[in-house]
Structure 1
Amino acid sequence: MAEDQDKSQKTQEPTEKKLRDARKQGDVPSSRETGNMMVVLSLFGVSALILPWQGPRLAGALSALIDGAGQVVVGEGRSGLAALGLVLREALLSLGLVLAPLFLLIMAGGVFGVLIQGETVAALDRVKPKLSKVSPVQGLKRLFSANTLVEFVKSLIKVLVVGGLAIWVTLWAVEGIWEAPGFVPESLPAYLLLAARRLLLAATVFLVPVAVLDILWHRFEWRRRQMMTVQEVRDELKDSEGDPQIKGRRAMLRRRRAQQRIAAAVPTASVILTNPTHYAVALKYQQGSDAAPVCVAKGADLMARRIREIAFEHDVPIIENKPLARMLYDQVEVDQMVPVEHWQVVAEIIGFVFDLKRNRTRPPPAGSVLRRSPE
């Protein structure tokens, strides 16, 4: 019951990390039917391409072995065993040379059937002994699972269809023998090879769509097994990016430190440049000690508003200069001097601010506006 409830809660698509970990453990969608289809196709290739020219060689090798069986003289002792071993080695070598192309083609078909599925991994976790593999409870669960039902239906259909094809080919072969005029026993091997070739071709044509459907089913079932619960997604997010609560707390501490720095730095500024509400840059310049104005604080949006409020509370002049404030916000970091290319404009604004403090009235520099409130 708990497992069924857990499955019902797996409503989230698997993440890339989840799929990557599954592949590392050897858990990939794989279809046996693809390998079976390729083996049957390989057998058809053997019957159509290899047996016609390897068959006589195989028959010759077996005939030579059988004909010479009565002529082999086996002595006593080690010499006799050595002679017997030499005879067997020569016989196996001749048979191996004849059968090697057959086995290589079948093996190549099986390997190709695995490779065409797209995902092939080798993982030690798949061969490690696990108690769940021998657990009766887990065995019963696998026995009555949806995958087992699909495999049973698939096997039943294969048995019925391939059995029907075998009966059809057998009836065709028997009917051909009865109707063929002057059929001789020497023609029987070639005729049986033709019948086997027809059966293998029909079975291959049937197994191709079965293999395709089986691949699609196993991919769907594998994807369904990798589904995640909301809690699993959250836990993975914590592992990969850190706990959101901790990240939020760190961000809050950074904002608090920034506010404390602004509260201490803005009252010491000589002028505040704004844009007019999105950006604010606090510049400080002391004649005789600073080579150029220095940025002591800067901020955007809410932080910019807080800078303006503190400046208004401490009678720090606020100058609206949209292009200059935006450029200084992007180019100058805190505790850095204003770049040389902006010295002239900033010097005019600083001079205007100093004149205000000396009660000298003159218009602000071009493009600049003196603000009377923080808003």
Structure 2
Amino acid sequence: MAQGDQEDSQKTQEPTEKRLRDARKRGEVPSSRETGNMMVVLSLFGVAALVVPWMGPRLAETLSALIDGSGQVVVGEGRSGLAALGQLLREVVLSLATILAPLFLLILAGGVFGVLIQGETVAALDRVKPKLSKLSPVQGLKRLFSANTLVEFGKSLVKVLVVGGLAIWVTLWAVESIWEAPGFIPENLPGYLILAARRLLLAAAVFLVPVAVVDILWQRFQWRQKLMMTVKEVRDEMKEAEGDPHIKARRAAIRRRRARQRAAAAVPTASVILTNPTHYAVALRYEKGSDEAPVCVAKGADLMARRIREIAFEHEVPIVENKPLARMLYDRVEIDQMVPMQHWQVVAEIISFVLDLKANRNRKPPEGSVLRTSPD
């Protein structure tokens, strides 16, 4: 198996949003030629059905007036003669532009609509930049014998056969109609030709509409298949977006180690440890004369909370269980910050209880609080 085929077989992952977004920035979006062909045929049918009946008599009138009056135009010598000729040409060009404007506008509208109905339209400079890969014979042979080329060849062959058959059918119908028409005169020929053109364009449009729909779906499928990714590419993209998981894990380990070191130094200085009882732990310090209000010196959740309780037990720092207060302070107070004023009264009661314990005074803990005698 060739290396390119082996790489394609390994692309089993759907393209990520970043890959799709980068492809759109490069101008790589699904584009169907059949949609453009369909809109050209529909535009021509609109011209034959709507514009030509209105445009034909006016165009004939303008040109016939020009031809009839050609012998009466006097072109003199000098600037006056050139001015008269210029005036005549301007009038003719303006008349023709007015008559032919709906024709060009209808064709232009058909082309724009054919682009818009495909869903995604982008303008990217990368599409027009010269690339050496487009000049490579090897890449040219790959494109020549690719599945997309075979599909395009099959579509073209079917279109030629079907449209050719429709053209033969319409031509036979037109010839038969002319042959069987009673009292046919040459002046009636343009009408037969326009009617035959309408029928041919309408039949071709009816055939090309499903072809365009199928081609749009095929192009979208091919576009998505081209952007499929390997597992390694997905992992590399995740690393670029979120960082290397190994480095992130190492940084998290460093942060945990530093937090443990900081807790080991700060918890022994605390006056009390508030717990939830096992999920959260908040170490508060209050020293008269130096602290205006209780200060959070350490806090942690789960394993870190357990470590704080163990250090407090080792250094005989009182541990008080107060579930709502511990959770509230854990969420709202950062390390080295004072307890908010609205919680001063509750915290003051707990610290007073702890100070009374140290002074060997018998006192019940504040309402909602429980004195813990072990780290667990």
Residues 136 and 75 of structure 1, relative CA distance in 2, 3 Å threshold: farther
CA contact (8 A) 1:266 1:297 kept: yes
Letter in 1 for 2:369: S
Say which SS state the counterpart of residue 296 (structure 1) adopts. Answer: strand
Quote how far apart the aligned CAs of 1:261 are: 0.6
Task: Give the aligned partner of residue 35 of structure 2.
Answer: 34
**Runs (5+) with no aligned partner, structure 1:** none
Quote how far apart the aligned CAs of 1:236 are: 2.2
Task: Give the aligned partner of residue 338 of structure 2.
Answer: 337
Supply the distance in 2 between the matched residues of 1:62 and 1:113 (Cα, whole angstroms). Answer: 34
CA contact (8 A) 1:294 1:336 kept: yes
Deviations 1:34-79 (A, max 9, x none): 1111111111111111111211222334445556678878899999
Say which SS state the counterpart of residue 273 (structure 2) adopts. Answer: strand
Quote how far apart the aligned CAs of 1:248 are: 2.1
Stretch deviating more after TM superposition (221-230 or 344-353): 344-353
CA contact (8 A) 1:274 1:321 kept: yes
Deviations 1:248-296 (A, max 9, x none): 2222221111111101000111111111101111111112322222111
Say which SS state the counterpart of residue 273 (structure 1) adopts. Answer: strand
Deviations 1:327-351 (A, max 9, x none): 1112221112222222222222212
Letter in 1 for 2:363: R
Letter in 2 for 1:59: A
TM-score, length of structure 2 as denominator length: 0.92
Supply the distance in 1 between the matched residues of 2:280 and 2:157 (Cα, whole angstroms). Answer: 74
Quote how far apart the aligned CAs of 1:164 are: 1.2
Quote how far apart the aligned CAs of 1:92 are: 4.6
Say which SS state the counterpart of residue 352 (structure 2) adopts. Answer: helix
Quote how far apart the aligned CAs of 1:166 are: 1.0
Please show how residues 43-58 of structure 1 align to structure 2 within 5 Å.
43-58=44-59
Supply the distance in 2 between the matched residues of 1:311 and 1:258 (Cα, whole angstroms). Answer: 15
Deviations 1:165-197 (A, max 9, x none): 111111111121222222222111111111111
Deviations 1:294-348 (A, max 9, x none): 1111111111001001111111111111122111112221112222222222222
Please show how residues 1-375 of structure 1 align to structure 2 within 5 Å.
1-64=2-65, 91-375=92-376
Quote how far apart the aligned CAs of 1:89 are: 5.9
Residues 81 and 235 of structure 1, relative CA distance in 2, 3 Å threshold: farther
CA contact (8 A) 1:36 1:110 kept: no
Letter in 2 for 1:228: M
Letter in 1 for 2:195: L
Letter in 1 for 2:17: E
Supply the distance in 1 between the matched residues of 2:101 and 2:280 (Cα, whole angstroms). Answer: 80
Stretch deviating more after TM superposition (17-26 or 63-72): 63-72
CA contact (8 A) 1:31 1:211 kept: yes
Supply the distance in 2 between the matched residues of 1:302 and 1:72 (Cα, whole angstroms). Answer: 104
CA contact (8 A) 1:266 1:307 kept: yes
Supply the distance in 2 between the matched residues of 1:92 and 1:341 (Cα, whole angstroms). Answer: 87
Supply the distance in 2 between the matched residues of 1:260 and 1:322 (Cα, whole angstroms). Answer: 26
Supply the distance in 2 between the matched residues of 1:65 and 1:236 (Cα, whole angstroms). Answer: 70
Quote how far apart the aligned CAs of 1:235 are: 2.4
Supply the distance in 2 between the matched residues of 1:152 and 1:73 (Cα, whole angstroms). Answer: 59
What is the RMSD computed on CA atoms of the aligned residues? 2.3
Supply the distance in 1 between the matched residues of 2:240 and 2:86 (Cα, whole angstroms). Answer: 65
Letter in 2 for 1:22: A
TM-score, length of structure 1 as denominator length: 0.92
Supply the distance in 2 between the matched residues of 1:92 and 1:322 (Cα, whole angstroms). Answer: 91
Supply the distance in 2 between the matched residues of 1:67 and 1:48 (Cα, whole angstroms). Answer: 29
Letter in 1 for 2:213: V
Stretch deviating more after TM superposition (59-68 or 235-244): 59-68
Residues 76 and 330 of structure 1, relative CA distance in 2, 3 Å threshold: same
Quote how far apart the aligned CAs of 1:124 are: 1.2
**Runs (5+) with no aligned partner, structure 2:** none
Residues 54 and 9 of structure 1, relative CA distance in 2, 3 Å threshold: same
Deviations 1:96-120 (A, max 9, x none): 4332321221122111111111211
